[in-house]
């Protein structure tokens, strides 16, 4: 073995190599092969749709807070429509990334069903109380609930999930409090 490696690095004669068929057979039989690792990676088209939906959703949420939050007392439906559309597009981005069938199955699994129901219920409730009831107070309550449910829904897909978020938020809080001398 030592002589073969030395000959390979020096450019000298090497030992007879295995045939190409033996090498590829060995690679295909590896449990963590490159092919199995990349088969679950989204395609370029899926990543493009993910980015498009996510950017558009964030844009609508930003518009809702920047333009329509100050006038929510007068017209709560403008905020609700813009904000709910943004939330729907953010959810659509995850559908585009993971695939519609697998994401729908994941959202309707027994462990995620209460949170999915809460998010969809808050979205429908926000639209209902702002468009049909024209209630400022209920629009604010449902919008806050929608923000919280969307935050949990989105964070649950990041590595570390809620425990990662708790770690990051506690680190940020301790950094901020140490800067201000508390």
Confidence of residue 8 (pLDDT cuts 50, 70, 90): very low
> Of 51, 65, 127, which Cα lies nearest the Cα of 93?
51
In angstroms, rounded to a whole number, what is the distance separating the alpha carbons of residues 81 and 95? Answer: 21
In angstroms, rounded to a whole number, what is the distance separating the alpha carbons of residues 23 and 29? Answer: 10
Task: With beta carbons less than 8 A apart as the criterion, state whether 170 and 111 touch.
Answer: no
Confidence of residue 57 (pLDDT cuts 50, 70, 90): very high
Residue 165 confidence (pLDDT): 64
| pLDDT tens-digit series, residues 17-28 | 555 555 455 545
Task: With beta carbons less than 8 A apart as the criterion, state whether 130 and 137 touch.
Answer: no
Task: With beta carbons less than 8 A apart as the criterion, state whether 57 and 88 touch.
Answer: yes
| pLDDT tens-digit series, residues 125-181 | 999 998 888 888 888 899 889 888 888 777 766 656 667 667 777 887 888 788 876
In angstroms, rounded to a whole number, what is the distance separating the alpha carbons of residues 62 and 56? Answer: 10
| Maximum separation of any 2 CA atoms in the chain, in Å | 85
Q: Give yes or no for residue 2 having a pLDDT over 80.
A: no
Buried b (16+ CB within 10 A) or exposed e, 53-80: bbebbeebbebbbeebbeebeeebbbbb
Percentage of the chain exceeding pLDDT 70: 70
In angstroms, rounded to a whole number, what is the distance separating the alpha carbons of residues 62 and 89? Answer: 13
Q: What is the pTM of this model?
A: 0.63
| pLDDT tens-digit series, residues 72-94 | 778 878 888 899 999 999 889 88
Task: With beta carbons less than 8 A apart as the criterion, state whether 80 and 143 touch.
Answer: yes
In angstroms, rounded to a whole number, what is the distance separating the alpha carbons of residues 178 and 66? Answer: 31
Q: Give yes or no for residue 99 having a pLDDT over 60.
A: yes
Give 36 or 112, the one with higher predicted confidence.
112
Give 50 or 13, the one with higher predicted confidence.
50
In angstroms, rounded to a whole number, what is the distance separating the alpha carbons of residues 120 and 142? Answer: 11
Report, as an integer, the average pLDDT of 22-38: 50
């Amino acid at each position: 073995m030592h002589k073969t490696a030395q000959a390979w690095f020096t450019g000298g004669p090497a030992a007879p190599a295995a045939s190409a068929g033996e090498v590829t057979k060995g690679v295909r039989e590896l449990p963590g092969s490159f092919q199995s690792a990349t088969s679950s990676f989204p395609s370029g088209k899926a990543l493009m749709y993910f980015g498009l939906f996510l950017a558009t959703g964030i844009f609508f949420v930003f518009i809702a807070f920047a333009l329509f939050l100050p006038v929510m007392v007068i017209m709560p439906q403008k905020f609700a429509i813009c904000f709910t559309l943004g939330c729907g597009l953010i959810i659509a981005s995850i559908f585009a990334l993971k695939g519609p069938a697998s994401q729908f199955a994941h959202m309707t699994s027994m462990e995620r069903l209460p949170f999915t129901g809460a998010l969809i219920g808050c979205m429908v409730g926000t639209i209902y109380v702002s468009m049909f009831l024209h209630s400022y107070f209920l629009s604010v309550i449902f919008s806050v609930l929608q923000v919280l449910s969307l935050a949990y829904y989105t964070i649950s897909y990041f590595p570390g999930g809620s425990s990662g978020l708790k770690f990051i938020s506690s680190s940020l809080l301790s950094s901020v409090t140490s800067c201000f001398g508390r």
